[in-house]
Structure 1
Amino acid sequence: MDFKVADLSLADYGRTEITIAEHEMPGLTAMRERYAASKPLAGARITGSLHMTVQTAVLIETLVALGAEVRWASCNIFSTQDHAAAAAVVGPDGSADDPQGVPVYAWKGESLAEYWWCAEQALTWPEGQPANMILDDGGDATMLVHLGTEYEAAGAVPSPDSTDNAELKEILALLNRSLGEDDGRWTRVGNAIRGVTEETTTGVLRLYERARAGTLLFPAINVNDAVTKSKFDNKYGCRHSLIDGINRATDALIGGKVAIVCGYGDVGKGCAEALRGQGARVIVTEIDPICALQAAMDGYQVSTL
């Protein structure tokens, strides 16, 4: 099995946290209990581009339990939990010497070139069988398939030197190399994919743009705007994770500081509440008058940047 993670020796630690996370994710564990025997996802080849965390590992192992084949990359260069990635590769029944999980390409602190290499690997299936589903977060895997297909149809990829955007340079370099190796690769991938699920606003906006332009290659499910996502994960998940992330990254005392929250949608509401709960004086900026009024009614100073 091919994979690339930081350190397989972290798998035992990751497995401990996965076991704890399973108790906090009863929906997925119930899906395993109900459908593991019937394998409704048999035949599904799922490429995932999602934060490689302990919670994602629970999702990955649920997909496998339901019959899917899975390959995974992270959707962010800094969000991977290396112990979770190692545990997903080793699997519940494997070991560091004999990994029996799924191919994962993710480690914390990837460079942009490494990030896009990982995305390519997650979309590169053995024996020439491409993915038939994408589980995306931010739209990067979906974008890579679409750009690759478009440039193959054009017969050429723009030079990486044609842009000043560092990330686009890496994408163009990857696709230039890919076109030289196989001028029909991404077209075959796009034709094989039956659909994509998209988790974030950024990715959904990209999908709507392509749908309006008539260039969307396959159906897309907008997970981001599901009520159970936008009204719960966006608000309560960010309320929890923002402070945790700041503490892990800086260990700075938040109480007494002035915090500016740009936007008072579901994410902004959760972030503002968390910061105020830590003792920060919170100022909200907002271009939508209704959201700005909500912030004012919730007791925040509303200002401009």
Structure 2
Amino acid sequence: MSNADANPDEVDCGASRFSGVLHARQVPLGGPRAMTVRRTLPAKERSMVGAWCFADHYGPQDVRGGPGMDVPPHPHTGLQTVSWLFRGEIEHRDSAGVHAMVRPGELNLMTAGAGICHSEVSTAATTVLHGVQLWVALPDTARDGGRDFAHYAPPAVSIGGATLRVFLGELGVSRSPVSTATALLGAQLDVAPGATIELDVDPAFEHGALLDQGEVEVAGDQLQVADLAYQSPGCDRLQIVNRADAPARLILLGGPPFPERLVMWWNFVGRTHEDIVEYREAWQAGDARFGAVEGYAGALPRLPAPVLPGARLKPRER
């Protein structure tokens, strides 16, 4: 998914001292999609959770009377996109020649490396769109690598009063076979009404728990839908309590604190202002760095980049 905000934030990403709950902000993405998402990462209080640098939560949105999702070909650099649906279906095409469907409970992981472009369109059979779009920052050793794509449908594992689907990394007895450039955890956790879940987690990781539906307490903090609870490294257990009489669903994110400084702007992840300028100019010029998407038949052949701000991109104050 593209960050198609007409005035995208420039974010210099790194560790922060924030601990607690991040509240999502509404972001109108504009363009042909006419969608609004709830964004928790990056935020002023915290830019990342491990290598996870971007988190959008959307839906459930009835798309029967509207265009649904129609994202023209758009670029990415220095990151991986993680598409995870709860409802609906999205057709993915990219410049690595991949044509795939995103379906509920199935991971689609696209690696941009030095540059890729892709399109995303909800299918005609989709009546409701509901899911998350996540980005993973690639470390310096991998950010100029090649394009790649992985698909994985994790099994559902019962753990007490919850069901766990680990799509990246490992948790408990569940392990994803999908390789990543840094240690990561990505999982869906469905918690039964009245259940208390104690998860043994890696104390070297920081963790985030994004609430999709229901009401829960995570590490003692009460969450509302689209809130993200943060737990710092040094904790070997993550407690999730559902006191309500309805089920709850969360996305769990984790990883060791990312040691590198990043500059994020629009759909690009780089290290400097000059990186971002180079990426934008290359995309606008149709450079082979990003390739081309075959088979997309939307209203726009490609999504143009916004105008860069007049000032030099610099670190965000915390």
TM-score range, shorter chain: under 0.3
- Please tell me whether Structure 1 or Structure 2 has the larger radius of gyration of its CA atoms: 1
Higher RCO structure, 1 or 2 (CA under 8 Å, sep 6+): 2
Bigger share in strand? 2
> TM (normalized to structure 2)?
0.26
Taking structure 1 as the reference length, the TM-score comes to 0.27
